[in-house]
Structure 1
Amino acid sequence: MAFLVSREGDVRLLTELLSGGASEDWQLGLYNAAIVPAETDTAATYTAHEATFGGYARKTLTRSVSATTWNTPVLQAPSGAPAWSPRGQVAHAKYGAAPLSWSVGPAGDTVYGYFIVGATSGALILAEQFTDPRSLHSGDTLSITPVFEVA
Structure 2
Amino acid sequence: MTITVANSGEVIALSYLVNKAAPENLVYRLFCNNITPAETDTASTFTEAAGGGYASKTLTGANWTITGGNPSTAAYAQQTWTFTGALTTNPTIYGYYATRLTSGDLVLAEPFTSFTPAANGDNIQLTPQITAE
Same fold (TM over 0.5): yes
Corresponding residue SS for 2:125: strand
The answer to whether 1:70 aligns with 2:64 is yes
Letter matched to residue 17 of structure 1: L
Deviation for aligned residue 1:23: 1.1
Where does structure 1 lack aligned partners over 5 or more consecutive residues? Answer: 76-88
Partner of 1:25 in structure 2? 25
Which segment is superposed worse, 29-38 or 106-115? 106-115
User: TM-score normalized by structure 1?
Assistant: 0.79
The answer to whether 1:114 aligns with 2:105 is no
Partner of 1:78 in structure 2? none
Letter matched to residue 104 of structure 1: F
Deviations 1:40-91 (A, max 9, x none): 1001111xx1112411111001122xxxx1113243xxxxxxxxxxxxx310
The answer to whether 1:95 aligns with 2:89 is no
| Alpha-carbon distance between aligned partners in 2 of 1:45 and 1:14, rounded to the nearest angstrom | 23
| Alpha-carbon distance between aligned partners in 2 of 1:110 and 1:12, rounded to the nearest angstrom | 30
Partner of 2:50 in structure 1? 52
Deviation above 3 Å: which 4+ runs of structure 1?
none
Report the aligned-residue RMSD. Answer: 1.5
Letter matched to residue 73 of structure 1: T
Corresponding residue SS for 2:85: coil
Deviations 1:126-147 (A, max 9, x none): 00111x2112121211111100
Where does structure 2 lack aligned partners over 5 or more consecutive residues? Answer: none
Identity of aligned residues (%): 38
User: TM-score normalized by structure 2?
Assistant: 0.89
